[in-house]
Amino acid sequence: ADSARSARIATLGWDELEEDIRQCRACVLCERRRQAVPGVGDRQARWMLVGEGPGAEEDQRGEPFVGQAGRLLDNMLAAIGLRRGEDVYIGNAVKCRPPHNRTPERAELAACRPYLERQIALVQPRLLVALGRPAAQALLDREIAISAARGKLFDHGGVPVVVTYHPAYLLRNPRDKAKAWEDLCFARRFMARAAAN
């Protein structure tokens, strides 16, 4: 049944995909969400960012990264000349808010993964940016520490992946903002080289 579900999701267009996400009951996170949060941005963007999962404000408004962490993310993007909605597509590893913003569990990441895969297949980004550990886990299929994975290029089915700290983490640990800035500059250099080739 799981592989049939994945195969079906892999055929959906954008509208059907978003509707499927909104109706999804594949894991326990559906029980306490106000609404599912599919994603936002340019559906043909060269950059695709992947967060962890909706928080309270996202659950309320139906859009990723619209709370405090989202404002920091927007500022970080602006610093490298990228605008939400125009230059990036933003999705989350899980589409429904985990209760009390707890970290999504492995089974929840797995249940939501066909949606993330379909979004990646539809956007066809040139670069994926994993924001924080659960996003990196969803994209790289293994557990990594952000501190060890920063500044490296990984691969997700032919799409390059870079990882950096989650903006909510940076709000709690502002001293690491400089590292996130380095990571974004690393990503931007990679994209500049990719565009030149």
By the criterion CB under 6 A, which residues form the site for ligand URA? 51-55, 58, 64-65, 69-70, 92, 168
Angular region, 141: left φ>0, alpha ψ -120 to 50, beta rest: left
Q: Which is nearer to ligand URA, 41 or 51 (CB)?
A: 51
Min CB(192)–ligand URA separation in Å: 27
Q: Which is nearer to ligand URA, 7 or 75 (CB)?
A: 75
Cα–Cα distance, 44 to 84 (Å, whole number): 13
Min CB(97)–ligand URA separation in Å: 9
- Residue 117 CB-density burial (10 A; 0-12 exposed, 13-18 middle, 19+ buried): middle
Q: Which is nearer to ligand URA, 114 or 132 (CB)?
A: 132
Min CB(65)–ligand URA separation in Å: 4
> Among residues 125, 180, 178, which one has the least CA distance to residue 150?
180
Q: Which is nearer to ligand URA, 5 or 18 (CB)?
A: 18
Min CB(83)–ligand URA separation in Å: 17
> How is residue 41 written in tokens?
């941005």
- Residue 14 CB-density burial (10 A; 0-12 exposed, 13-18 middle, 19+ buried): middle
